Chains A and B, each alone.
Chain A
Amino acid sequence: MPEDVRTLRKKKRLSINQLASRSGISIATLIQYEKGELEISPSDLRRLAKALYVDEWDINPYSTPPPPAPPRREEQPARPPRPPRPKEQPKEQPKEPKQKKAPRQSPPARDSQIAHLLTLAARFDIDQAALQTEIGKPLSELTQKEARHWNGLFMRRVAEEKPPRATDRRRAYLPEGVDGFELAYLQEQQEAAASLHFTLFDGQTFEGPVVGFSPYQITIHEPGGDEVTLNKLAIAYYRKAGGAK
């Protein structure tokens, strides 16, 4: 039974930020996926499945929207009137001068704010520990107002300093860890509606434009009008139709 990506993420005890790092999908997109505002694209579904160590069909591509947030104070039903204070306690001490009311405490920062802050900080090679040092308190203690302030600060830094981009990544890029090149090629051919010629292990050949693909299969539209799904394990090689053999 497929489950919502949020449910799976919680089961794996991952934060949105961690899932974003693992899957390479932006936090904003993940939030949209989790809220059911956006259907998960096939390529992202594959990434999420890898990141969550589940099969693609374990993930519901269209998440159920989360239950609505509790109503705001002004929308809440009126409280029952307080019982009158007991009168038998006479005030013996003289009235103290009225103290100024403490300013209303901002609520704790939202997960998305923290995640955004971590993402922005990471662009400057600042990890969570360094960020907390800079802020002066644990991220979990940040209020919404403070998070807004720090996010704004980093956004301005991003605009001003243009931090190093992905080319400076610290982790080595290992092509054997991803099948991005082939999928990008297939995507390009599908968009161009180019006809591809496939040769299978047993010598059979198929030809037609790509109508869909996954890491394990490629579906083509044959000239006769039939759709054929080829298992990649059975494919030896393929190229644009009409090319030299």
Chain B
Amino acid sequence: MSLGDELRYLRAFHGGGNLQEIEDEIGLEPGTLRYMEQRYRRVGEDDELLARIAAYYGVPVERLQFHRERYRKALSTYLHRAQESGAMVRCELRTGETLSGKVRWWDLGAFGLDPDEGGPLTIVQRHSVLDWPLDEDHVANDQ
């Protein structure tokens, strides 16, 4: 799950507040949170800023740093390469489950996975993917 998805998730769990109001409350430049929530590439390099956001949502800053490494483009690269090569993917979901299988398609919000244990196509929401095997090469190439 990317930092943007995590921030959206946290906001939803905090009553789905207005971005501008939250930015005002934390003391962020207008548009900072919106940018971080919507950006597909890696964001949130400023640890001090992350710490302020983490404090507002009442979560450890390490949690946001964890998601910073798992930005949307990195997941896209992982899915795309697996689809191209026919390799299996393995994703740990926010539900605690781990799904593995072959990628049939992927798009803006979800990907279709043919589970390795058989069964129907499973549509996995990208924002529910907590973790996947991070490849340094993917990260480096996608900055």
Q: Which residues of A contact B (CB under 8 A)?
A: 175-182, 185, 199-201, 203, 215, 232-233, 235-240, 242-245
Select one of A175, A179, A199, A233 contacting B95, CB under 8 A: A199
Asked, given contacts A182-B109, A237-B125, whether A244 binds B115 with beta carbons under 8 Å apart, the answer is yes
Contacts known (A178-B108, A181-B110, A182-B107); A239 close to B125, Cβ less than 8 A: no
In the bound complex, do residue A176 and residue B94 qualify as a contact, i.e. CB atoms below 8 Å apart?
no
| Beta-carbon nearest neighbor of A234 in chain B | B12
Closest to B96 in A: A203
Interface assignment of B8: CB less than 8 Å from any CB of chain A: yes
**Main secondary structure on A side of the interface with B:** mixed
Tell me the nearest residue of chain A to B83, going by C-beta.
A175
Are A176 and B72 in contact, CB atoms less than 8 angstroms apart? Answer: yes
Contact (A236, B94) CB under 8 Å given A176-B72, A176-B76, A244-B117:
yes
Chain A min CB distance to B121 (Å) = 6
| Main SS at interface, chain B | mixed
B33 to chain A, nearest CB (A): 16
B78 on the interface (CB 8 Å rule)? no
Number of interface residues of B (CB under 8 A): 32
With an 8 A cutoff between CB atoms, is B82 at the interface? no
Return B135 CB to nearest CB of chain A, in Å. Answer: 18
Question: Is B132 an interface residue, CB under 8 A from the partner?
Answer: no
How many angstroms from the CA of A176 to the CA of B80 in the assembled complex? 10
Q: Which 5 pairs, one residue from A and one from B, show the smallest C-beta to C-beta distance?
A: A244-B119, A243-B120, A236-B128, A179-B108, A240-B120
Q: In the complex where A233-B12, A244-B115 touch, is A176 in contact with B107 (Cβ < 8 A)?
A: yes
Residues of A contacting B127 with CB < 8 Å?
233
Write out the residue numbers on chain A whose beta carbons fall within 8 Å of the beta carbon of B115: 244
Contact of B108 (CB < 8 Å), options: A175, A201, A203: A175
Choose from A181, A232, A238, A242 the contact partner of B107 (Cβ within 8 Å).
Answer: A181
A240 CB contacts on chain B under 8 angstroms:
120-121
Q: Are B106 and A236 closer than 8 Å at their CB atoms? A: no
Residues of B within 8 A of A203 (CB): 95
- Cβ–Cβ < 8 Å partners of A215 in chain B: 109
Question: Which B residues are in CB contact (< 8 Å) with A236?
Answer: 93-95, 97, 124-125, 128
Inter-chain contacts of A182 with B (CB < 8 A): 107-110, 112, 123
B73 contacts across to A, CB distance below 8 A? 176
A137 to B118 alpha-carbon distance, docked (Å): 62
